[in-house]
Amino acid sequence: MRLDVVTIFPEYLEPLNVSLVGKARARGVLDVHVHDLREWTYDRHNTVDDTPYGGGPGMVMKTEPWGDALDEALADGYESGAHSPVLVVPTPSGRPFTQELAVELSAQPWLVFTPARYEGIDRRVIDEYATRVPVVEVSIGDYVLAGGEAAVLVITEAVARLLPGVLGNAESHRDDSFAPGAMANLLEGPVYTKPPEWRGRGIPDVLLSGHHGKIARWRRDQAFTRTALNRPDLIERCEASAFDKKDREI
Ligand code: 6GU
């Protein structure tokens, strides 16, 4: 998968060299290209923003640097053999980023991110590229960040770990909170490892029992309790048939 990121803070994307995403890059699973938007400014002050038409607070990112940067990033990608880019526009007014959207994006061969600062990018830029490539505006949650770069890191990490050959164990995301399956819509419960006693605290007996059926039941109960506490909305969203008698007792 090819990733392009156009930003005024290329150094903000340094974490893409670290950990799971960094390893995916090193292995050639991810081909990451970070571009400094200011390279496509032509005035002495490298201006990327201006006052909004219609008035109001804040600044709006200008059309020309974004247009020239995206044209060049796209041309470079096509030239190197990439195809079917999807433009991912981080914005608090976008479609909520969910595991489902992460799975969708992980099936794409090429993502181009446009993290903005200030009040966002002149709308004509998004409208222009929407005539050429699929565009998805994405929000990572109901809060406002100072810019989209942190959202790019979040989206990239969620997508990269779904790519074949990135996670060591293909089963690692089978039971993820939000993954489809028997535990669909339930958050993961607590986990334990050695030593068996730490500061007087032991391990739940059932986990040491070797009884796989009981362990699965316990894990489901834990997941259910945690979900009811932290995300009652997820339980309300479930079909009644998703619950058995034991769930209803909790
Ligand atoms: Cl994608 N960008 C910004 N600036 N704020 C956000 C966001 C994105 N998602 C949630 N808040």
Q: Which of ligand 1's atoms lies nearest the C-alpha of 138?
A: 1
CATH 1.10.1270.20 in the chain, residue ranges:
175-249
**Would you state the pLDDT for residue 118?**
82
Average pLDDT, the chain: 93
Tens digits of per-residue pLDDT, 179-231? 666 567 899 999 999 999 999 999 999 999 999 999 999 999 999 999 999 99
- Best residue among 139, 149, 153, 154 to mutate for probing ligand 1, ranked by most atoms within 8 Å of CB: 139
For ligand 1, the distance from its centroid to the CA atom of residue 82, given in whole angstroms, is 28
User: How many angstroms separate the alpha carbon of residue 138 from the centre of ligand 1?
Assistant: 8
The CATH topology of domain 175-249 is Trp Operon Repressor; Chain A (1.10.1270)
The pLDDT value recorded for residue 174 is 62
Q: How far is the CA of 231 from the centre of ligand 1 (A)?
A: 21
Number of H helices, E strands in the chain: 9, 7
Give CA–CA dist 152/87, Å, rounded. Answer: 12
- Tell me, what's the ipTM? 0.97
Atom of ligand 1 nearest to the CA of 94: 1
Catalytic residues: 92, 119, 161, 176
DSSP H or E segment with residue 77: helix 63-79
Whether pLDDT at 58 is above 60 = yes
**Is the CB of residue 118 below 6 angstroms from any atom belonging to ligand 1?**
no
- Residue pair 80/57 in contact (Cβ under 8 Å)? The answer is no
Mean pLDDT on 137-148: 97
- Strands 85-96 and 60-61 turn out to be unpaired
**Average pLDDT of span 80-99:** 98
| Top CATH class, 2-160 | alpha beta
Spacing, Cα 81 to ligand 1 middle (Å): 31
- Give yes or no for residue 144 CB within 6 A of ligand 1: yes
* Residue 216 alpha carbon to ligand 1 centre in Å: 37
- Nearest atom in ligand 1 to the alpha carbon of residue 147 is 4
Residue intervals in the chain for CATH 3.40.1280.10? 2-160
pLDDT exceeds cutoff 90 at 41:
yes
- Say how far apart CA 170 and CA 161 lie, in whole Å: 10
pLDDT of residue 78: 98
State the Cα angle at 57 between 54 and 63, rounded to 5°. Answer: 65
Q: Locate tokens 């991810």: which residue?
A: 30
Residue 182's pLDDT is what?
58
CB of 147 sitting under 6 A from ligand 1: yes
In angstroms, the CA 130 to CA 235 distance is 37
Would the CB of 148 count as within 6 Å of ligand 1? yes
First CA to last CA distance, the chain: 44
pLDDT, tens only, 151-190: 999 999 999 999 998 887 555 676 577 766 656 789 999 9
Pocket flag, ligand 1, residue 145 (CB < 6 Å): yes
Measured by CA distance, the residue closest to atom 7 of ligand 1 is: 92
**Distance (Å, rounded) from C-alpha 101 to C-alpha 51?**
33
More confident residue, 250 or 18: 18
Coil, helix or strand at residue 115: coil
The whole-number pLDDT of residue 238 equals 78
Position 29, amino acid? V
